[in-house]
Structure 1
Amino acid sequence: MHSYATPYNIVRSQEPDVPVYCFRPERVTAAAKWFRESFPAQPFYAVKANPGVHVLDALWAAGINSFDVASENEIELIYNRFPGARMAFLHPVKNRRAIARAYHQYGVRIFVTDTQAELHKILEETGYARDLTIIVRIGVSNDGATLPLTGKFGANEDEAAAILREARRYADELGVSFHVGSQAMKPSAWATAMADVSRIIISASVTVDIVDVGGGFPSIYADTPPPSLEAYAAMVETSFENMFVLENADLWCEPGRALVAEAESLLVRIELAKPGSIYINDGSYGSLYDAVHERWAFPVRAITGDGRKLRGMAEYTVYGPTCDSTDKFPDKVWLPAGLTEGDYLEFGNIGAYGRAMASRFNGFGETEVAIVHDAPWPSLYNALGAEVIAIGSKATK
């Protein structure tokens, strides 16, 4: 992997014809350091957010040694790359083969469930092992989440109490978990969820060894800066102190976006420019999935292929590379005027659910990775970051 001072140097020296992930290892180190030293819970990195090995290696080097895994492939990836890593199989619905192999071949001892059926599936495939940590996922409000995740997973109050009582019979350690939604913008969401979960624990009349407050911790995007992470940490810590759990109960969390969003940006090339529109080599089937489907406001800057200066702003329709006519940004985008073929755009803070969502539709999807060391984007972890253009925003000059 080559290293450059900035993406400008990549353009000048390489003129890449495929999208390039610009990896900033210092951003990973800063995020990992904050979660390890300033957040009151043990972090389990949510591998689904970004399974890139360079990102995983940077997290491991920064002291993140516990992982939230959702499939056998993720388990195998972590097992082979990081001997001794702690893994929690936190997908609420798992096939039997994956459970058996996770336990017997890969040494996983932590499993989640939100149904009686899944609990007994875990017990059967592990041979009713006595060294299991069983986490019961409970459904909670997703008020304040940019991307709510309610409906698919999470036991309701009555179901959760029954599952907790049954799991307590078999589990070496018993835990509860919940998820307040993705890019959760209200720290109070954790206070509400933890109070609700505590009430369920009381109604179940069980002792709980672990409280897993899930993920949802935000990153910083161009249109909606979140509260400080310190506000989330304080809310979780205070709410945990008020929960009805053992005095020595462990507190866990599953950060994904907050750990790796700042780790990567995406450098794309303009392949065609028309009056009022541009065609780029990534889009809704690639790493810009969230920009298109969720209207996510990634910061973006232009880098001209020939070094010329751009002046003024203009509205563009932005199309992706595939033959699907819906492969385009849903809203017009304000970008520097005068963009043309051979110019580049850099989309920032795309390290979470960028590469993880990309496909090879139409034969596209080839990418490269390069290390860069600049800090152009706003950061949750320090004061660095220049003013950038928000997708869909006319305000930035």
Structure 2
Amino acid sequence: MTHMHVAGSIHADATSPAPVWLAKPDDVNALDQRLWSRTVRRGEDGALEVGGRSVPSIVEETGTAVYITDEADFLARAAEWRDAFEGWHVYYAGKSFLCGTVARWLERAGLGLDVCSLGELTVALRAGFDPAKLGLHGNNKSDEELRLALTSGVGRIIVDSAQEITRLERLTEELDVRARVLIRVTTGVEAHTHEYIATAHEDQKFGLSINGGQALVGMVRCFHSPRIDLLGVHSHIGSQIFDTNGFEVAARRTLKLIDQFREATGVVLSELDLGGGFGIAYTSQDSPASPADLAASLIEIVEHECRGFGLPVPQLSIEPGRAICGPAAMAVYTVGTVKSVEIGGGFSRRYVSVDGGMSDNIRPALYAAEYSASVANRASSAEPVLSRVVGLHCEGGDILVRDVWLPDDLRPGDLIAVPAAGAYSRSMASNYNHTPRPPVVSVADGTVSTLIRRETLDDLLALDAGL
């Protein structure tokens, strides 16, 4: 199967306004289970159910827009990654979605946690997460961030620049502590993903270049620094990636760098982090590999490259985020307006406006990411109609689902559920147009729990010094 590029299929073909990959469904009520969390089903009344509760009954408690997380699905995915990569260090990428409860779920599942800001680090620490299992990322870490990481005992700091090494040398001396670090390197791998989320090519902000020699210089400098313990090398090639070809090239180049470091110092570094970025299914076109298949492929790649360089297999790490939390949640909205628009060539498009939009999911507007959707409060016997789910914001690009087949009898008051909304939706949410951000709830065994409460207008206006 040909995988969808993360930027999406924007243009229509010659005979239909629908993208070529989007087939008209025989049954508009059918669910592609690859897109939904594992407890989602349609009940006898046609409404979606998750975690033993109907979505309409959850919405009665929470209102819309709302993110609904399937707790059992989240925990099961975390366990699948942990078990598939047995012997590896598995760090959850907190930037995908993080709150206090999620941090405790991760610790219960035996995963580490990567954070990349003072806020994320503070959430993890206040949630009681073991600091020894935390990693701190960031291309421009402040003294405040580094000081908190050093004083709280964060297990590893992923160094991103020569200036950061200088800051660490100064702070470790000032605080009389040691820093455990990995050097983040750019491998020159062009991952097949959107430009904005490809992170290992040379012309971007992250890491120290292997090709330019900066990485080796930084590694040697850390090795000789009196208060820095150099653990190994970190590489991250991008996000929403469906195969391991890019990881093969990245492994080869990072292990060659480790070999060069051995030649320069006589020391073999003990750790290699291959990053994350594994894709999930947002539409029927996507078919991501299982954690077990990815683990088998990656260990084969690393072992092969280590044999070639005569190196022992290092302690390996990986950083899934989206792959754990993304499929575990849906976003649910209430339909407010439905109208058809003539688009030429004898075609029309149904526009479905809902009570959310780019403020609660910026990804479609940011890089034309594709999503799916389904009616959540009932089944329908009406014909499928090509539709576009749009938000309430004053922007023409405020699109949540660019192309989807929805029933012809869709009406105001219906509920629309968007699967695979657990990653980078709430974590990238904004207050555009002074819109409060939606709550995040979890459901398990019929019980709804609040993870993050709904933001209110009072919350927003409290920041306005003129009011």
Could you give the per-residue CA deviations for residues 279-317 of structure 1, whole angstroms, max 9, x where no partner exists? 11111121x22233333333321124xx46242111223
Question: Structure 1 residue 142 and structure 2 residue 190: aligned?
Answer: yes
List structure 1 runs of 4+ shifted beyond 6 angstroms.
none
Q: Is the 8 A contact 1:261 1:350 kept in 2?
A: yes
1:174 is aligned to 231
Q: Is the 8 A contact 1:23 1:265 kept in 2?
A: yes
Give the CA deviation at 1:7. Answer: 4.0
Question: Structure 1 residue 299 and structure 2 residue 349: aligned?
Answer: no
Give the CA deviation at 1:209. Answer: 1.9
What letter corresponds to residue 315 of structure 1 in structure 2?
A: L
What SS does the corresponding residue of 1:200 show, helix, strand or coil? helix
Question: Structure 1 residue 87 and structure 2 residue 134: aligned?
Answer: yes
Q: TM-score, normalised by structure 2?
A: 0.72
What letter corresponds to residue 301 of structure 1 in structure 2?
A: S
Question: Structure 1 residue 239 and structure 2 residue 304: aligned?
Answer: no
Q: Is the 8 A contact 1:190 1:235 kept in 2?
A: no
Question: d(CA) in 2 for partners of 1:57 and 1:263?
Answer: 16
Change (3 A) 1:284 1:366: closer
Question: d(CA) in 2 for partners of 1:342 and 1:266?
Answer: 16
Could you give the per-residue CA deviations for residues 43-90 of structure 1, whole angstroms, max 9, x where no partner exists? 1111111013333332232222x2111111111111111253421112
Q: Is the 8 A contact 1:220 1:226 kept in 2?
A: yes
Question: Structure 1 residue 198 and structure 2 residue 260: aligned?
Answer: no
Question: d(CA) in 1 for partners of 2:313 and 2:248?
Answer: 20
Superposed counterparts of 1:101-180, under 5 Å = 101-104=148-151, 106-127=152-173, 131-140=178-187, 141-145=189-193, 147-149=197-199, 150=201, 151-157=204-210, 158-170=213-225, 171-180=228-237
Q: Is the 8 A contact 2:67 2:441 kept in 1?
A: yes
What letter corresponds to residue 214 of structure 1 in structure 2?
A: G
Q: Is the 8 A contact 2:66 2:438 kept in 1?
A: yes
Question: d(CA) in 1 for partners of 2:365 and 2:301?
Answer: 36
Question: Structure 1 residue 266 and structure 2 residue 337: aligned?
Answer: no
2:405 is aligned to 334
Question: d(CA) in 2 for partners of 1:186 and 1:348?
Answer: 22
1:382 is aligned to none
1:380 is aligned to none
Superposed counterparts of 1:1-397, under 5 Å = 5-10=52-57, 14=60, 17-40=63-86, 41-64=88-111, 66-85=112-131, 86-104=133-151, 106-127=152-173, 131-140=178-187, 141-145=189-193, 147-149=197-199, 150=201, 151-157=204-210, 158-170=213-225, 171-204=228-261, 205-206=264-265, 207-222=268-283, 223-241=285-303, 242-243=305-306, 247=312, 249-275=314-340, 276-286=350-360, 288-304=361-377, 307=378, 309-329=380-400, 331-372=402-443
Question: d(CA) in 1 for partners of 2:434 and 2:64?
Answer: 12
Deviates more, 1:17-26 or 1:331-340: 331-340
What SS does the corresponding residue of 1:145 show, helix, strand or coil? coil
Question: d(CA) in 2 for partners of 1:329 and 1:29?
Answer: 27
Change (3 A) 1:15 1:111: closer
Aligned residues: percent identity?
A: 23
Q: Is the 8 A contact 2:68 2:332 kept in 1?
A: yes
1:377 is aligned to none
Question: d(CA) in 1 for partners of 2:254 and 2:331?
Answer: 39
What letter corresponds to residue 88 of structure 1 in structure 2?
A: G
Gap regions ≥5 residues in structure 2: 1-49, 341-349, 446-467
Q: Is the 8 A contact 2:193 2:239 kept in 1?
A: yes
Give the CA deviation at 1:369. Answer: 3.6
Q: Is the 8 A contact 1:145 1:186 kept in 2?
A: no
What letter corresponds to residue 193 of structure 2 in structure 1?
A: A
Question: d(CA) in 2 for partners of 1:256 and 1:179?
Answer: 13
Give the CA deviation at 1:247. Answer: 3.7
Change (3 A) 1:308 1:15: farther
Q: Is the 8 A contact 1:7 1:267 kept in 2?
A: no
What letter corresponds to residue 182 of structure 2 in structure 1?
A: I
Deviates more, 1:15-24 or 1:70-79: 15-24
Deviates more, 1:23-32 or 1:144-153: 144-153
Give the CA deviation at 1:328. Answer: 2.7
| Structural RMSD (CA) | 2.5
Deviates more, 1:323-332 or 1:169-178: 323-332
Give the CA deviation at 1:332. Answer: 4.1
| Count of residues paired in the alignment | 366
Question: d(CA) in 2 for partners of 1:219 and 1:330?
Answer: 16
